[in-house]
């Protein structure tokens, strides 16, 4: 997965730069931009890191720096797994 794994609306916010900044911080994830919402699709180890308050605060600060007002992580689901590529699979782009 690379910081270029960004899909969705890329016009107003810098999702590519945010994904790169998160990776530098050790949070590896694909990122879907939905307006001012950055939707993270993290690897399992990155989800574990997000259980730590300090890491969440860092993610929120980075997201704000890159123009996002909201950050959420998509929760993995057995039910969705059959129809959705895992976070480290190639991601569709608009």
- 80/93 with CB nearer other proteins: 80
> Least Å distance between CB 56 and other proteins?
5
Phi, psi of 66 (to 5 degrees): -100, 15
Residue 56 near residue 11 (C-beta atoms within 8 A): no
> Least Å distance between CB 44 and other proteins?
8
Residues at the contact surface with other proteins, assessed by CB under 8 A: 34-37, 39-40, 44, 47, 50-53, 56, 59-60, 64, 69-80
């Amino acid at each position: 997965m690379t910081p270029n794994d960004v899909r969705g609306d890329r016009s107003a916010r810098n999702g590519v730069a945010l994904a790169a900044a998160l990776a530098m911080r050790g949070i590896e994830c694909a990122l879907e931009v939905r307006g001012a919402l950055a939707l993270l699709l993290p690897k399992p180890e990155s989800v574990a890191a997000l259980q730590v308050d300090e890491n969440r605060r860092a993610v929120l600060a980075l997201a704000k720096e890159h123009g996002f007002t909201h950050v959420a992580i998509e929760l993995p689901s057995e039910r969705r797994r059959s129809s959705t590529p895992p976070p480290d699979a190639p991601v569709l782009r608009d």
